[in-house]
Amino acid sequence: MTMEIDDQLRSFCFSCLAAAGDLERLEKDGQLTLLEKEQAIKNSLSDYFDERVFQEAMQMAQHYMTFYCLERSARDIVVGKLEAIHGGGWWFSKVPQNIQTSASQNMQREIDAGVTPRSDKEIDYATFGELGEIVKSNWADFGDIFKSVKAFTKIMTNLNVLRGPIAHCSPLSEDEVLRLELTVKDWIRIQSKQS
């Protein structure tokens, strides 16, 4: 898949997420009824959880989806670029040692816990913040994708802060929802168009 197609797919995904958010707002305002499956989910959970918690979860689901898409695409960018330039051994030659160690420890924790490993790829055990560090430590390889290291650092920092409440099951305030939407747009905007 070319970078242009990746960019188009990423834009399409984020446009769909934004449209879904708009439809949910219309539904919440009583102007539209769309989500019959919400009732099925609600019926299966309503005996176990408080209505307030359920409603918060439904509102937060779209933000989780946004961040999931963003983080997965960031991982794909890192892997795609470093593998294309440095080959299959890029993880050991291009990733800072402290991130390699952290990812290895995270992998071992899952093995020791006896759960199904989330992945067999080390990159999937790096934190979102560590993804940014990998890019910055290899900026010469990413300068053709991201327009500015300062802008990249600022956007990654903002996204990492916004990720906290989403990952740790706390509702986002209206201001933070708007900040997330704008920061995702910044993430897309900072990426250079590839031919």
pLDDT digits (tens, 9 = 90+) for 53-71: 888 888 899 999 999 999 9
Residue at 77 is within a domain: yes
Per-residue pLDDT at 50: 83
Residue at 94 is within a domain: yes
Average model confidence (pLDDT) across the chain: 85
Residue 129 has pLDDT above 90, yes or no: yes
pLDDT (average), residues 39-59? 74
Q: Which region among 24-33, 92-101, 133-142, 169-178 has the lowest average model confidence (pLDDT)?
A: 24-33
pLDDT (average), residues 179-191? 91
> Which has the higher per-residue pLDDT, 109 or 52?
109
Residue 36 has pLDDT above 60, yes or no: no
Residue with tokens 């800072």, as numbered in its chain = 96
CB atoms within 10 A of CB 126: 22
Residue 124 CA: distances (Å) to CA of 104, 107, 140: 11, 9, 23
Residue 145 has pLDDT above 70, yes or no: yes
CA distance 97 to 14: 33
Residue at 146 is within a domain: yes
Q: Which region among 37-51, 61-75, 95-109 has the lowest average model confidence (pLDDT)?
A: 37-51
Residue at 195 is within a domain: no
What does pTM read for this prediction? Answer: 0.75
Residue at 51 is within a domain: yes
Residue 191 has pLDDT above 80, yes or no: yes
Residue at 59 is within a domain: yes
Question: CB-based contacts of 37: which residues, under 8 Å, 6+ apart?
Answer: none
According to DSSP, the residues that pair with 191 across neighbouring strands are: 146
Residue at 179 is within a domain: yes
Instruction: Quote the radius of gyration of the chain (alpha carbons, Å).
Output: 19
Residue 140 CA: distances (Å) to CA of 75, 118, 137, 145, 147: 17, 30, 8, 10, 12
Domain extent, residue 159, equals: 3-190
Domain count along the chain: 1
Helix (H, G, I), strand (E, B) or coil at 138: coil
Per-residue pLDDT at 195: 39
What are the phi and psi torsion angles at 191 (to 5°)? Answer: -80, 130
Per-residue pLDDT at 114: 95
Residue at 140 is within a domain: yes
